Amino acid sequence: MKPRRLLIYVLCLVISAMFADGAAAERRVALVVGISSYTNAPPLPNTGNDSKAIATLFKSIGFDVVIARNDLGVVDFKRTVREFLITAENADVAVVYYAGHGIEIGGMNYLIPMDAKLSHDYDVDDEAIALDRIIWALQPVRRLRLILLDACRDNPFAAKLRSASRSPTRGGLAKLDEISADTLVAFAAKAGSISYDGDGVNSPYATALIRHLAEPGVDIRIALGRVRDEVITMTGGRQEPFIYGSLGGATIALVPQFVTTNVPPVPPPAPPVSVPALPKPVVVNPAPPSAPLPAQPPSETTDPCVRDEARLARLRATPVPNEIINFQREVACTRLRPQIQRLFESIVSTGALPSDGNAAPQAAAKQQVRNEDVRSEDTCTRDMARLQSLRAEPTLPAITNFERELSCERLRSQLRRLRESVAP
């Protein structure tokens, strides 16, 4: 009987481990859509950059599926949403990010595809995507349903929309009254107000999302609260993001915190006990003295900051998003965390890195240059090469000098974050 009981015990342990691994490995999926080149409305300058940067962010933090689409017409938009809803049916975490025009008609919110005309209010049901449809269809997702809307811009269709019974608003989205549990809908600006594209490569809202969503172990509600605070600061109080919905009491982070084991402190040695001296024994034919033990080599330094600083220097020379994310989880030197975060932002902010995160930074720089206008190609090529050299050996005087001489404006935000990653 004993061998049989031992076998049963081992099988129980194996099965328990399998279930524990399955519970720990959450399935995370994301849909990212950016609409910039509107056919019947003025183009939006930053939505394409924003969607690419957010898609790159989700890929770099290990999402299982990231569906990224830009400039979709109404048919392709609806087909993409349907494809994602099928993908998200068995997911633990599902995130939808949309950058583009969004309008409110009769208290309902709609996301606007590239080819929408919207000459009458009843056209919206055929030519746009209802936000309620996305919220309702995400119900099978088990743990977190998160919808991020950078869509609260001025409504370009308001002046030409003819209405029989429903009147459109000039700008902003309508507030949400009923949202199911475990669902958060985050507006770039609170209901009835508009959001801004900003002066940089990305909008203020997308910039703050890139900075805070991927912080390891930070609950999504805290992360979005930090996004709100930063957007208010960046816009001088003109834009205030807002969140609708609720979650339970458990911490839900898009990037899990690296788990460390707390080792109990070693107790102090007991005080010596006085023992009466014994008479020295008489030794007959004492043995010759043994040779002295060889000196022990000095132990390797255990200062975590020395080790982490060396690793940070290597990542600056060859920055790879996946390795930077892993470093954020494993870093032991607390004072280096802000520098690592700034380094990550300097790489991800433009969304131009390859999706697998393993190609050389020079290849990403070349891809960025190919996407630029032909007239600025030579200038951006030269500045990108100089930026890569600074990443390998960054110093504050060299970065400051480069900021004064920089000609390629799309690199300025990366250069600023590189300076922040070097400055303590």
Q: Which pLDDT band holds residue 138 (cuts at 50, 70, 90)?
A: very high
d(CA 404, CA 416): 12
Which tens digits make up the pLDDT trace of 364-388?
Answer: 444 443 444 444 556 777 888 888 7
Q: Which two tokens stand for residue 114?
A: 């590239």
pLDDT of residue 309: 83
pLDDT, mean of residues 216-245: 95
Residue 167 has pLDDT above 90, yes or no: no
Strands (E), 42-143: 65-70, 93-99, 102-105, 108-111, 129-130
Q: Which residue has the higher pLDDT, 204 or 299?
A: 204
pLDDT of residue 300: 47
pLDDT of residue 52: 95
Q: Of the segments 232-236, 272-276, 281-285, which one has the largest average pLDDT value? A: 232-236
Q: Which residue has the higher pLDDT, 355 or 192?
A: 192
- pLDDT above 90 covers a percentage of the chain that reads 36
d(CA 239, CA 266): 53
pLDDT, mean of residues 301-321: 79
Q: Which pLDDT band holds residue 50 (cuts at 50, 70, 90)?
A: very high
Residue 311 has pLDDT above 90, yes or no: no
pLDDT of residue 147: 97
pLDDT, mean of residues 85-110: 92
Residue 64 has pLDDT above 50, yes or no: yes
Mean pLDDT rounded to a whole number for the chain: 79
DSSP secondary structure, 311-375, as one string: HHHHHHHS--HHHHHHHHHH---GGGHHHHHHHHHHHHTT--S-TTS-S-HHHHHHHHHHHS-GG
Q: Of the segments 330-334, 349-353, 366-370, which one has the largest average pLDDT value? A: 330-334
Q: Which pLDDT band holds residue 6 (cuts at 50, 70, 90)?
A: low
pLDDT of residue 385: 81
pLDDT, mean of residues 386-400: 83
pLDDT of residue 410: 75
- pLDDT above 70 covers a percentage of the chain that reads 73
pLDDT of residue 113: 95
For the beta carbon of residue 163, count every other beta carbon within 10 angstroms: 12
pLDDT of residue 170: 57
The backbone torsions φ and ψ at residue 289, rounded to the nearest 5 degrees and listed phi first, read: -60, 135
Residue 140 has pLDDT above 60, yes or no: yes
DSSP secondary structure, 229-248, as one string: HHHHHHTTTS---EEEEE--
